Amino acid sequence: MKIALFEQGSIGTNCYIVYDESEKQAFCVDCSDKISNAYFDFIEKNALQIKYLLLTHGHYDHAADILAFTRRFPKTQVVISQTDYENIRQRKSVFCESDAFPEPSMLVNDGDILPFLNSSIKIIATPGHTSGSVCYLFGDALFCGDTVFDGSIGRTDMATGSFFEIMKSVAKIASLGDYALYPGHMSTTDITTQKEMNPYFR
């Protein structure tokens, strides 16, 4: 399995394409508010079938260009947490515009499992940055959105954010074991490194 990273959109969101080269099957994590031509070209040049677009949360910088994605790949199943979809529907600030957001294929909650090839993707609820933030665990990779960054954590001062909740979510992530971390912004890292140097993990 390979992971391609495209940093794109107005504030540099990490958009991941996880794919199997021989099977040509893939899933994407977040799409940003402005998908680049390079991102679409990569999918098309590699002839990838995108089974899922997994959204870590409903903030505009992670998801606002979703219609460009679904128009290009109409068979892709859009996956978002039930809570953040409700946040979008309620038009909370900094979330995607609800009229620019398609009906999701699937609303997920903590512990849900999505099949992918001969494996599965596990949903881990990590509220705090938004009330419906989730991480997606696949193989040895944890796609953690804006919950954890290399050396810091996500903001909790926006709508539905909670510092108390994000600290509980950080503890939950720390307890998972040693997984590689693929955050929504900035560099990739791993849980062991964060336990050593991230002040929020102490």
User: Where do contacts with Zn ion occur on this chain (CB under 5 A)?
Assistant: 59, 146
| Least distance (Å) between residue 172 CB and Zn ion | 18
| Least distance (Å) between residue 80 CB and Zn ion | 13
3-state secondary structure of 7: strand
Give the nearest residue (CB) to Zn ion: 59
| Least distance (Å) between residue 59 CB and Zn ion | 3
Pick 65 or 146: Cβ nearer Zn ion: 146
CB 35: neighbour CB atoms within 10 A? 20
Pick 6 or 149: Cβ nearer Zn ion: 149
| Least distance (Å) between residue 119 CB and Zn ion | 27
Pick 19 or 58: Cβ nearer Zn ion: 58
Asked if 82 and 107 count as a contact pair (C-beta separation under 8 A), the reply is yes
Pick 116 or 133: Cβ nearer Zn ion: 133
Cβ-defined contacts of 175-179 (< 8 Å, 24+): 176/124, 176/137, 176/142, 179/137, 179/140, 179/141, 179/142
